[in-house]
Amino acid sequence: MRAAILLSAALAACQSAAPANNQSAAAPTPAAQPETPVAAAERLVRARVRQGGEVRFAESRAGTHEGVNVVCGAYQQGQARHRYIVVNGEDVFVEPEMAAGEMPRAISEFCAEGGRA
């Protein structure tokens, strides 16, 4: 009989140590989501032009050209608006670094609606 009382006390102690029903265990942290092609391109462009101040993006579009991923868009930095192209998540082309007339030709070739995925 004494063993039953000790066992009951021990079980009661275990139950009181358990979390209350209104407390939930911490939810597992979800795995980081992979970066989208547009987010990756904007990160690369921002790194490339960081010396010029704040950068705001517009018209960013992801697509493909001859099977290669391409992101085209524009960014505002200060009072200037420039266009950019990121090819395969690696090569960054920004309008201020290109010769006059090169960006319009590149946009036409790589970013035309017909070449979009």
Determine the 3-state secondary structure of 86 from DSSP. Answer: strand
The residues that bridge with 70 in the sheet, in sequence order, are 63, 87
With 0.85 as the threshold, say if the pTM is over it.
no
Name the residue ranges covered by the structural domains of the chain: 37-115
- Distance, CA of 60 to CA of 40 (rounded, Å): 11
Mean pLDDT over each residue of the chain, to the nearest integer: 77
- Per cent of the chain over pLDDT 90 is 55
Asked whether the beta carbons of 95 and 72 are under 8 A apart, the reply is no
- Distance, CA of 15 to CA of 11 (rounded, Å): 6
pLDDT (tens digit per residue) in 3-19: 323 223 333 333 344 44
Least confident residue range of 46-50, 51-55, 70-74, 112-116: 112-116
Which residues are within 8 A (CB) of 46 and not within 5 positions of it... i.e. 6 or more apart? 55
- Per cent of the chain over pLDDT 70 is 68
CA of 72: how far to CAs of 25, 56, 108, in Å? 44, 14, 11
pLDDT at residue 51 above 70? yes
- The CA-based angle 71-74-77, given to 5 degrees, is 135
